[in-house]
Structure 1
C-alpha cells in the first residue's frame, strides 16, 4: 500500500515537472533568454526520471525533453544535444501505440530532429528518415486539424532539402505545394506566419534558380518582405529572414542589373550579420552571402574596398564553419572566387595559387552535395586550363570521379539525363587536356568514363555476374536482385501530387530506389575488397579498351570547341595513336549539322514514306555536298591517310573501321564523307564504316550465328493509325520471309497483331528482329522515343526494362532510329542504343529518314548476304549493308538523294550533291571573295537587295581576285546562301539565363526592324553625309578609335593580368563604355566600318562576351545599329574560319555565382 502511494506521488511530481518545463519553454519562446531554456531542459529531465517505465505519460515527457534538446541545439549548435533529441524522440515514437492521437506529434518532432542532423552532417539517410517520419505524421493528420499547417511546413522543408541535395524537380514542386497550403491554412496575424512565408519564399527562390522564371523571384521577394515586416525587432529569427531577403535582392540584381537591388542586398545581409551573436551556427552562412554581395559590387564598380570586404567575409565564414559541415565546400568555393578576382586585379601568383587551392578543397571534401562539388571541380579545371601554370589533370580527374556521385543510380533516368546538361563539356575538355599533356591513354579513358554515363550505368546493372557467382554465389544473388529492381525503378516516373492517398506510395517508391542505390554501392564496395575482384565493375582502363579492336581500327574523335583530335586503336597494338585534326571544331560541327538538317527539311525527307514537294520559296537551297566535303577534307581523309588506306588503289576486301564520334559530330554522317565533285574521293571507296557509342561496348564481343534453330521476328506496320501509310513494308517483310525459309524459324507480326506487349514478348523468344514501321525522337523526354505500333508507342524506356540474352541482329527500318538528343550528344539516347543495351550486339538503324520504296531493296540485299553467311558480329552486318547501299547507288545513279541506315556495325552512303553550277562548288577562298566583294558594294549587309549592275561589279571583283570565271548567278546564289545561313544567328552566349536570352533576341529583332524602316530614309541620310565637315570627320575618327580600344579591352581582358589593372576592364562591365564610345562615333557618322569589323574578327572568340554590350548599344543611333547587325550578317563566315584555330585560354570571369545559401529552421512543436 505504501509502495503504491509512493508511485502515485512520484507520477504526480513528474506531471508537475513536465508542466513546469512546458511553462519555461513557452517563456523561452517569448523572451529567447537562454537561462529559461536551460530551466526547461532541467524540468523535462526530472519529469522523465520520475515517470515509471511503462507509464502512458512517458512518451509525452520524452517528446518534450527531445524538443527542448532540439531548441538548445539550434541555439548553441552542440551536436550532443541533437543526438539526445533524436534518442528521446525515437523512444517516444516506440512507446506510443499505433492509432494513438499523439503519434503524429511524436513522428513530426522525430522528423525535425533528423532534419537538423542531416543539415549538420549531410547524411542522406537522415534526410530520408526525416521525410518518412513527416510523411507518416501528415498522413495521420485529419483535414481541418490545427496542426495540419505545421506538418505541411515541416514536410515541405525536407522536400526542399532533398531537392537541394539531389536536384529532382518533383521534390521542389512538392515543397512549394506544401508551403502554399501551410500559408493558406494559417490565419493572418498568427505568430508562425513569418516562418511559413520565409519557407515558401525559399522554395520560390530555388525554382527561380532552376527554371529562370522572373515571376518566381518576385514571389520570393514578396514572401521574404512580408516575413520581415511581420517580425518584431529583437526577434531571434530576424537575421534569418533578413538574410533570405538580401540574397533574393542579389538574385534580382544579377537578373536585371539594377544597382539599387545590390545595395538592398548588402543592407539586408549586413543587418543579418550584425544581429547575429558570435558563435551562432548560422553566422558562416550570413557572412558567405554578404561576401557574395560585396563581390558583385566590386565587379560592378571596381572599388578595391569591396573586394577586400568580400575576402574578409569569406575567410571568416570558412573559419567559423566546423569540419565535416555540409556547407564547408561552398565556403571554400566563395574564397576561391574572391582570390580569383584578387588575382585578376593584382596579377600576383600567390592569389592565383590561393584560388586554385580553395577550388581543390571545395571539390575534394567528403561532405557537401555532390552536384555542388562537381561544379566546383569544373571551375577548378577551367581555371587551371586557362592559366597553363598548373596542370588541370588533377582537377579533371576529380570531376570525373565525382560524376557517378552526381549522376547517381538513386535518381530516375529522366532526372539523370537532366543533370547531365551540367557535364556536357567535361569529356571533351578532359580529353584535350590529357592530349596536350601527351597522355593519350588517359585521354581515351576519360573520354570513355565521362560519356554515355546513363547508358553505361544501365549496362552495369545488366552485367553478367558469372565469375562472382562461382566464388560468392550469395553475394552475386544479392547484387543481381538489387540491380534488377534498380533497373525497373529508375525508369518509372514519380507522381508529384500531394494528395495523401498518393503521397505515401510515390514517396515510398522514391525512397526504395534511393535505398537500393545505396545498398548496391555498398555491395560493390564489399565485392571490391575480395581477392581477385578489386576491379569489379570499375570503369574500364585503357589496357582493356585497347583489346576492343577485334576486326579493324577504332577511331575515337574528340570534338572540342578549339579543335578535334582522333584517338586510334589498332588491332594487336599496345599504344593509342593520336592524330590532331585542327581544321574541325565543335562550332563547325554544329553549323554542318544545321545545314544538313535544313537540307533534309527542304527535301521533305523527315520520316519514312514521306517525301514532301515543298512550295518554291525565296529561301536559299541548302546542300549536303559542302557538309560531306568538309567531313572528308578535315576528318575522314586525314584518318584514312594516317592508317595508310589512301595510298595506292583501295584494298580488297575493304578494311572495316569503327567510328566513335563525340559531341555534335555524333550526328554527322562520317560514313558518307567525300568530295563528290571528284570520282573516287569518298569514304566508302576505301573502308566499310560502322559506329559504336563507346569503345567498351565492343568489349562484349559475342559473334552471333544464325542456324536452323534460330528464330527471326519481323514487325511490319503498313498502316499505323495516325501515320502515313508504308506500303513498302509489305514487300519488305515478304523478301525477309523468303530468305529466312531455309535458315531457322520465322515469325511475322503485322497490323493489329503488332501491339507493344506482343512485340516485346516475341522479342524475348526470337534471336533477330526486324522493325519496319514509323518511329520518332522525343526531344523533351528522350526515353519516350520509340516505334509506332498498332496500339501505341514501343518506347525506349519499355525496351530498356528488358534484358535479352544471346541475341543477334536488330534491323530498324524506320526513320531517325540513330538520331539522339542534340542537347546531350554524348549520351547515345536513341533507339539504336536502346537495342544495343537490350542485348542486340549488332544494330542497323537510320540517322534520318528512309524512302519507303528503297527500304525493301536494302533489306533484301542485307538479308541475302547475312543469311548466306549465317553470322554477324565480325563486321559482317556492316559489310552486308555496305554492299546493299552500293547496289542502291548503282540502281539510282541518276538520283542525288540516295541515303541509307547507319549506326553501330552499320554503313551508310549519302550522295546528295547540290553544286553551284555552272562554276561548280566554290572553295572557302572563293566564298570569302564573294562576301568581301558584296560588302564592298553594300556595307550594310543586305546583298540580296543589290541590283543587276551591282552584281556585275561583284562578279568582276570576285573573278579578278580568284582568277576563275564564275557566273553572276553562281556568285549570287552562294552569297545569298551564306547570308541566309548566318542571318539571325547570334554568337553563343553563356552568361544569359533563358528569360534574358528572350529579352536580348527581342531587342535585336527590334533593331532589325529599325534597319528595314530606315531604308526609306536612305536618300536623306546620304544627303546628310555629303555636308559633313572636315572637323566632324576628325572627331568621328577619334571617337571610333576609342570604340576600337574599348572593344579590344573587352575581347582580351587577360592581356593586363600580369600587371595591376582596373576591374573596369572586365568585359561584363564595359557595356556602358562601349555604348558611349559608339554613340560618340555615330554622332559624326564617320565610323570606319572595315577597321571595326576587322578588329571584331581578330577577337572572334570573344564575340560572345560582346553580345552583352550589344544589348546596351542598341539604344545608340541608327547607323550604329546598322553596323552591329551588319557585323552579325557579314562577319559570320570569317568568324567560321577564325574559330577553327586554337584559341588562347584566359582566366574565366564567372558571370554567375553559386547561389547564396539560406537556412530554413524546421520548428519542433512540443506538447504543452
Structure 2
C-alpha cells in the first residue's frame, strides 16, 4: 500500500503543478507495480486497479494517447467486477468508470460510450444512500453525462434531468465543502446549455449567478479557480452574443485574463485558457472593431495550438478557432494570406473530424464561409461551388431545432445567391430563397440571425424582379417586420434598443416602398406604423388601459398590470452599493441585477400577452394596429405619412373617409432631404442659434432657410395639398382645415409646417402652408387614436389646472429673464387655476411629483438635445437635468397639454429619424395628449409673446364653450401669425421652430 500512497501523492502533485513526469511515475512506476503485487483475491486489488485507471485517465487527458484510455477502461472495469454491490467502494468505482466512458465519448464521439456512462452512473447513484457523503458526487457525475448526451442529441429530457441532478448535488453539499464550487460550476454549465438551446433568460442569468458563487467560494490559491473564471467568462460571452451588452464582453475578457494570471506558465491548461481568452478578444473585436483585439486573439490562439500536442482531443477545436480568427481579420483587412491560411487550417481540421463528431456541421459551415470570402475577393468559381457543397453538408448534419440551424441555412442562402449572381441559374435563386425563409421562420435561432436571413432574402428579391415574384418580395419583407420587435426587445435597456434602431429604420422604408410599388397601400401604411417609433410604441403599450380585460379576466389583468408597472419603473439604478467596500464593483452589480430584472419581467410580460390572446375576443390584444383601427385617427383631418427610400419617395394620405391616396414625390429624395437638413443646421449656427455642435458655416443663413422652405413647398407640401383639396370639401366658414404630418427619414427634421414661397419673387396668391391649413406632427398614427375615457373623466367637468415651471437662472447657463414674464401672463389669463414652481422650488423631484397633479404644464427653462445619447436630452432645473429617460418611466393620469417653452425640445436625433427621441415626444409618452415644442433654440423675448397669444386663444375657446383639448394646434397657429406680424415673415429662425405634436 506504500506504492499506492506514493502514486496518489504524485498524482496530486501533477494535478497542482501539471508536470508530466509526475503522472508518468504515478502510472508506470507506482500504480502498475502496485497492481502487479496485489493478488487477485486480495481486498486491495480493486483499489489498486481503480488508482491505476485514474492515473491512466489523467495521462490520457495530458497526452491524448488512445492506448491510455483503453487501458483505463479495462482497469476500472476489473475494479468494478471485483467489488460486490454492497461494498462501500462500489459506487465510487462505478462513478470513475462512468467518467472514463465520458472521456472516451468526448474524444471519439461514440454514442455507445455515453450510453454506457449513463447506465454505469445511474447504477452508482442508485447504490448510494441519500445521506451518504458520496451521494452528491454520484449525482453531479450523472448530471454531467446527461448534459453531454443532450449536447450531442438535443433531447430536452436529458438537459432537464441533468439540471435536476446537478441542483440536487449542490443542495446536498454545504458551502465549506471543497467540492461545492465544482458542483456549482457543473450546474451553471447545464443551465448555460439549456439557455443556448431555448434562449430562456432565466437560465443564463442563473448560470452567471451560480458561477460567481463558485468563484466566491474559491481562494486564488485553489488550482480550480482559473477554470471557474474561464467558465464565467464563457457565460458572459454567451450572454453578450445573445444580447449585445458591451459590458458582458468586457467582463469576459477580464475574467479570462485573470484565469491566465492565476495559472502557472507550465500548467497543461495554459493552451485551453489561451484559447478561451482569444475567443473573448475576437468577440470584442467583432463588436467594437479594435484591430489590436483581433491581432492579439490570433497571436494567443497560435500559441494555444503550438502548446497542444498532436492527437490531443482539443487540437482540432483550437485549430478551428484559429482559422475563424484569421477569417475575421481577413474581413477587416482583406489580406489574401489570412483567408488562405484559414482555408488550409479548416480543411486539415475537417479531414480529421468524423461525421459523427458534434462539431462537424459547424466546421463545414466555417470552411464554406472562408471559401465564399475568398471567392468574393478573387472571383474563382471553384471556391463558391465548394463553399456551397460545404454549407449544404453543414445544413444536412444539423438537426431541426438545433440553435445553429438558422445560421447554417442563412449562410447557405448567401452562398447560393453569390453563385446565382455569377451564373443566373434560377435553381440557385430558388434554393437561396427557400434557405433564407426557413432560417427566418426557425424559432430556435437568435432574432438577430433570423432578421439577417429575412433581410437578405428581401434584398435578393428586390434585385431580381424578373425571377422573384411580388408575393416572394412582400413575404420576405413581412418576415422582417415580424422580427423587428424581437430584435428591439422590451427586455433590453432603453439605450440598447435605441442602438438597434438606425438600421431598422432603413428596413422599414424598404418594405414600405416595395408595398407601395406593388399597389398595397394598406400594407405599406401598416408596416410604416408597425416599424417606426418602436421604442416609443413599447412604452405606450405598457400604459394601455385594460378595462375590458379586467372585466372579463380580472386575475390575469391584475398580473399584467403589475408586470407593466414594474417594467416602466426599471432603469433607475440605486447607489446603495456605493457605501460598501468596493464602490465600482457593487455599482456594476446593482446595474447587472437591474438589467436581469428587466429581462425577466419582459419575458413574463410576453408570456402573459400570449395567454391573454388565447381568450375569445382578445386575439388582437396589444397587437400592431391594423388599417381599420388606424383610420379612426383622422377625426381632426387628414394624416400625411411620407416614406423616404432611395428607390422612391411617396406621401400616403389617410382621409377621414378611410381612403388612402398615394402621392408620388418624384422631385424629392432621401438624399435631398439629408442635404437640406445639413444646410438648415449650418444656417442656424451661422446666426448663433445652435452653438453646441461644430458645423461648417454656410453663407447667407436666412436665404438658405428660405430656399429650404421653397423646396419643401414645391417638391413635397404643395403636391400633397393639391390632392387633399381635391379629395375634401371646403372648410367651415373661415376655419382652416387641419393636417397632421408623419414624416420619416431626414424629412422628420425639416419644417413642413412652414413650407412656402417667400420673398419678393414669390408669386401672388396663396403659396404657403399656413395659408392653406393648420399643421401638427405625430410620431405615429396610433398616438392620435383616443383611448376611451375612464369613469372619472366622464363625470369630471372641472376646468384644467395649470402648472408653470420656470427656471431663469440655472447655474452654468445663460439667464432667461423672459420666463418670469411668461409666468405672469399665464397667471393673468387663468389666475385661479395656475400654480408655479420657480427658481429653487423647481427641483427634479418636485417637478416630477407636480406633473402628475395638473392637466396643463408650461415649462419655461433651458432644454438640451443630447446627440451622444438622446435619452439624456433634458430640461435644466435648479438641481440638475430632468432627462428624457426619467420622463419615460412616468405615467401622468391627468395630463392633457404641455407647452415646452425651451430650446430644442422637438429637435430629435439625426441617427434615429424614425424614433421621436426628443422631449416633446417624452411628454407625449408620459400621457400628455397635446404638446408644443421647439425645433431649435428660441429667443427669450419671443417666448412671452407666443405664450400670451396662445393661452389667450385657449381661454377664448373655453369661454365659447368649445373646450380646449382639440384647440391647441389652432391656438399655436394664431400665436405664430401674431409673431410673424411682429418680427417679419422672413425672420424664419424666430417663428418657424414652434411646432405642435399630438391631438
Output the TM-score relative to the length of structure 2: 0.84
Query: How is 1:1096-1115 mapped onto 2 (pairs within 5 angstroms)?
Result: none
1:210 aligned counterpart, secondary structure:
helix
Unaligned runs of 5+ in 2: 1-82
Q: Are 2:408 and 1:331 equivalent residues in the alignment? A: yes
Describe how 1:1079-1090 pairs up with structure 2 within 5 A: none
Deviation at 1:436, TM superposition (A): 1.0
How far 1:170 moved relative to its partner?
A: 2.2
1: distance between equivalents of 2:908 and 2:632? 27
Q: Could you tell me how far apart the structure 2 residues matched to 1:38 and 1:708 are?
A: 77
The residue number in structure 1 matching 2:503 is 422
Structure 2 partner of 1:167: 244
Asked if the contact 2:294–2:329 (Cα under 8 Å) also holds between the matched residues in 1, the reply is yes
Separation of aligned partners in 2, 1:872 and 1:662: 32
| Residues 1:264 and 1:77: Cα distance change in structure 2 (over 3 Å) | farther
Of 772, 777, 784 in structure 2, the residue corresponding to residue 691 of structure 1 is: 777
**Of residues 676, 682, 691 in structure 2, which corresponds to 1:598?**
682
Equivalent position of 1:372 in the other structure? 449
Instruction: State the 1:132 CA deviation.
Output: 3.3
Give the drift of 1:137. 2.1
The residue number in structure 1 matching 2:171 is: 94
The equivalent residue for 1:964 is: none
Q: Which residue in the other structure is 1:941 paired with? A: none
Note the alpha carbon deviations across 1:1-56, whole angstroms, 9 max, x for none.
Answer: xxxxx999543433454466667778999999999877765654443222112223
Counterpart residue number, 1:1120: none
Alpha-carbon distance in 2 for matches of 1:620, 1:885? 21
My pick for the range that moved more, 698-707 or 452-461, is: 698-707
Once the two structures are TM-superposed, the CA of residue 859 in structure 1 deviates from its matched residue by 0.5
1:530 counterpart = 2:609:
no
Aligned partners of 2:273 and 2:972: how far apart in 1? 65
Deviation, structure 1 residue 406: 1.3
Return the alpha-carbon distance in structure 1 between the equivalents of residues 627 and 698 of structure 2: 53
CA contact (8 A) 2:416 2:429 kept: yes
- The structure-2 alpha-carbon separation of the partners of 1:100 and 1:766, relative to structure 1 and needing over 3 Å to count, comes to farther
CA distance in 1, matches of 2:252, 2:398: 27
- How far did residue 867 of structure 1 move? 2.1
Of 283, 286, 304, the residue aligned with 1:227 is: 304
CA distance in 1 between partners of 2:520 and 2:358 (Å): 46
SS at match of 2:984: coil
Distance 1:498 1:611 in 2: 35
**Partner Cα separation in structure 2 for residue 615 and residue 308 of structure 1:** 50
Give 2:991's aligned residue.
899
Matching residue of 1:749: 837
* Alpha-carbon contact 1:122-1:326 (below 8 Å) kept: no
Q: How does 1:921-932 map to 2 (within 5 A)?
A: none
**8 Å contact 2:686–2:697 — kept in the other structure?**
no
- Equivalent in 825, 835, 853 of residue 735 of structure 1: 825
| 3-state SS of paired residue (2:501) | helix
When residues 646 and 632 of structure 1 are mapped into structure 2, their CA distance, relative to the original with a 3 A threshold, is: farther
- What secondary structure sits across from 1:721 in the alignment? coil
Give 1:318 shift: 0.5
* Aligned residue number for residue 668 of structure 2: 584
SS at match of 1:549: helix
2: CA distance, partners of 1:27 / 1:229: 24
- The alpha-carbon distance between structure 1 residues 541 and 320, as it changes in their structure 2 partners (threshold 3 A), is same
**Matched residues in 2 for 1:302 and 1:615: separation?**
43
- Relative distance call for 1:605 and 1:197 in structure 2 (3 A) is same
The residue that corresponds to 1:1133 in the other structure is none
CA contact (8 A) 1:177 1:498 kept: no
Size of the alignment, in residue pairs? 896
Task: Quote the residue 2:433 is aligned against.
Answer: 356
Check 1:185–1:688 CA distance in 2 against 1; reply closer, same or farther (3 A cut): same
Rate the CA distance shift 1:567–1:19 in 2: closer, same or farther, 3 A.
Answer: closer
Q: Which moved more, 1:495-504 or 1:895-904?
A: 495-504
**Alpha-carbon spacing, 1:90–1:728, altered in 2? closer, same or farther (3 Å):** same
SS at match of 2:681: helix
Residue 804 (str. 1) matches residue 895 (str. 2): no
Tell me the residue number matched to 1:390.
469
Residue 306 (1) aligns with residue 383 (2) = yes
Q: Using the TM superposition, name which of 32-41 and 827-836 deviates more.
A: 32-41
Query: Residue by residue, what CA displacement relative to the aligned partner does 1:109-138 show, whole Å, maximum 9, x if unpaired?
Result: 011122233334554443333223223323
Tell me the residue number matched to 1:1060. none
1:574 corresponds, among 631, 634, 658, to 658
Q: Distance in 1 between matches of 2:126 and 2:583?
A: 41
Q: Secondary structure at the match of 1:425?
A: helix
* CA-CA distance at 1:788 after TM superposition: 0.6
Shift of 1:896: 2.7
Q: Which residue does 2:812 correspond to in 1?
A: 722
Task: Give how far 1:647 is off.
Answer: 11
CA offsets per residue over residues 416-449 of structure 1, 9 Å max, x none? 1112233121221111111111111111100000
1:883 equivalent to 2:964? Answer: no
| Equivalent position of 1:457 in the other structure | 538
Contact kept in structure 2, 1:122 and 1:325, CA below 8 Å = no
The more displaced of 871-880 and 489-498 is 489-498
Which of 534, 540, 557 is the aligned partner of 2:625?
540
Q: Contact conserved, 2:417 with 2:460, CA < 8 A, in 1? A: no
In structure 1, C-alpha distance between the alignment counterparts of 2:805 and 2:588, rounded to whole Å: 40
Cα distance in 2 for residues equivalent to 1:615 and 1:52: 80
The answer for the alignment partner of 1:713 in structure 2 is: 803
- Structure 1 residue 875: Cα displacement: 4.1
Q: 1:407 to 1:615 in 2, by over 3 A?
A: closer
Give yes or no for the alignment of 1:253 onto 2:343: no
Instruction: Kindly indicate whether the alpha-carbon contact (under 8 Å) linking 2:447 and 2:486 is maintained by their aligned counterparts in 1.
Output: yes
Aligned equivalents of 1:446, 1:837: Cα separation in 2: 21
Paired residues of 2:643 and 2:649 also in contact (CA < 8 A): yes
Q: State the distance in 1 between where 2:437 and 2:109 align.
A: 41
- Partner secondary structure for residue 331 of structure 2: helix
Q: Which has the higher contact order (CA 8 A, sep 6+)?
A: 1
Deviations 1:889-918 (A, max 9, x none): 1111286343244444489xxxxxxxxxxx
Change in CA separation of 1:76 and 1:351 when aligned onto 2, cut-off 3 Å:
closer
Tell me which moved more, 90-99 or 32-41: 32-41
Q: How does 1:496-895 map to 2 (within 5 A)?
A: 501=586, 505-571=590-656, 573-606=657-690, 623-644=704-725, 652-677=734-759, 678=762, 680-700=766-786, 709-741=799-831, 744-870=832-958, 875-893=966-984
TM-superposed CA distance for 1:375, in Å, is 1.5
The change in CA–CA distance for 1:646 and 1:305 in structure 2 (over 3 A counts) is closer
Structure 1 348/37 Cα, relative in aligned 2: closer, same or farther at 3 Å? closer
Given the superposition, is the C-alpha separation of residues 872 and 410 from structure 1 closer, same or farther in structure 2, using an over 3 Å criterion? Answer: farther
- For 1:180, what is the secondary structure of its paired residue? helix
How many Å apart are 1:338 and its aligned residue?
A: 1.3
Two-structure CA RMSD over aligned residues (Å): 3.2
Within a 5 Å distance, the mapping from 1:138-149 to structure 2 comes to: 138-149=215-226
Q: What is the CA-CA distance between 1:768 and the residue it aligns to?
A: 0.8
- In structure 2, the partner of 1:192 is 269
1:406 aligns with 2:487: yes
Mapped to 1, the partners of 2:941 and 2:627 lie a distance apart of: 45
Q: Are 1:237 and 2:314 matched, yes or no?
A: yes
Deviation at 1:502, TM superposition (A): 5.6
Shift of 1:210: 1.4
Q: Is contact 2:686–2:701 with CA below 8 Å preserved after alignment? A: no
Q: Confirm whether residue 341 of structure 1 aligns to residue 418 of structure 2.
A: yes
- Quickly say closer, same or farther: Cα 1:894–1:385, change in 2 above 3 A: closer
Q: Distance in 1 between matches of 2:151 and 2:729?
A: 80
CA contact (8 A) 1:121 1:324 kept: no
CA separation in 2, counterparts of 1:498 and 1:17?
49
Distance 1:603 1:626 in 2: 16
CA shift, 1:361, in A, is: 1.2
Contact 2:532-2:914 at 8 Å conserved across structures? yes
Q: In the TM superposition, what whole-angstrom CA distance separates every residue of 1:574-598 from its partner, at most 9, and x where no partner exists? A: 3211111111111010000000000
Inter-partner Cα distance in structure 2 for 1:11 and 1:44: 15
Partner Cα separation in structure 2 for residue 647 and residue 110 of structure 1 = 68
